[in-house]
Amino acid sequence: MSALYDATQYTLTQLDVGQTYSPQLNLQGGFSTARNYDWSGHFGTFEFGAKVRNAHKFEDARDPVFNSLDNPSMTGFLGTFANSNYYDKHYTFGPTVDYSKVTAYFKSHGSDPNFFAEDVASSAQNSFPNNYDLVERISAGYLMNTLDFGRVRLQTGLRFEGTNEDVLGNQVLFDAHGNLCNGPTDPGCPPNFTSAVLPVRRTSSYLDPLPSVQVRFRLAHDAAIRAAYGRGISRPNYSDLPPTFSSQGNNNEIDIGNPNLKPSRANNYDLLYEQYLKPLGLLQAGFFY
């Protein structure tokens, strides 16, 4: 067990320093209008509107991997932090590495071929599967009606959301030895090989009707009970959708994205008690599922 905490038993064998540029631009516009009316002596409001949102998200990642050729000892990069009572006194934490010492060493020797050599295949595995370009357009419209019946207010609505997605990812091709494909004669590379990094594009679209209803019953002493139902949607994370695929067999690593991921949909139920305070304020207690 003593060797586990012996810094001389550890060496620097590999280093990767990643940089990622991942901006997102959202453009959206919408409108809504409402009209009050009277229905058999009951006050009502009818409202409708629409909104379009266009999101453009891309990621440009560069995460090169460098193999250390001289394998310096951990003793040259030791940090000062240690904890002999780590994890409720079950483990000793340390010795630790000072990250700034490692990066300083790499800055001084990274360009020297006697100290570091880039692992081209691992660099490609770390970088290209993370790069993508995605455009998502959501077109939505809604209808909503509110009616007052004495102490009861009834609000019903229906929203439609149409989603269109266009996403570009990368497929990285490796040969049977874990190196980037060079040509169709490499073992494990496809016969129609054109490039080790192939852009792949996928498009999808779907429409969701999302109904809702809310009932509010006004009680005495400035209180009310509110019950609501609504259907909601949660779309997949952008970074999970690109049609990326790479499999480097020599390090048992697979990167894959799934453009066929479906959004999650939920039925939401709320029951709420409201107490209005004088002169200002509101106290609420509720249950939701």
φ/ψ of residue 221, rounded to 5: 60, 45
Count structural domains, the chain: 1
Range of the domain at 234: 2-288
Q: In a 10 Å sphere around its CB, with 0-12 CB exposed, 13-18 middle and 19+ buried, how is residue 174 labelled? A: buried
Per-residue pLDDT of the chain (289 residues; tens, 9 = 90+): 578 888 999 999 999 888 999 999 999 999 999 999 999 999 999 999 999 999 999 999 999 999 999 999 999 999 998 887 888 877 888 889 999 999 999 999 988 999 999 999 889 988 999 999 999 999 999 999 999 999 999 999 999 999 999 999 999 988 888 888 888 888 878 888 888 999 999 999 999 999 999 999 999 889 999 999 999 999 999 989 999 988 876 667 788 899 999 999 999 999 999 999 988 999 999 999 9
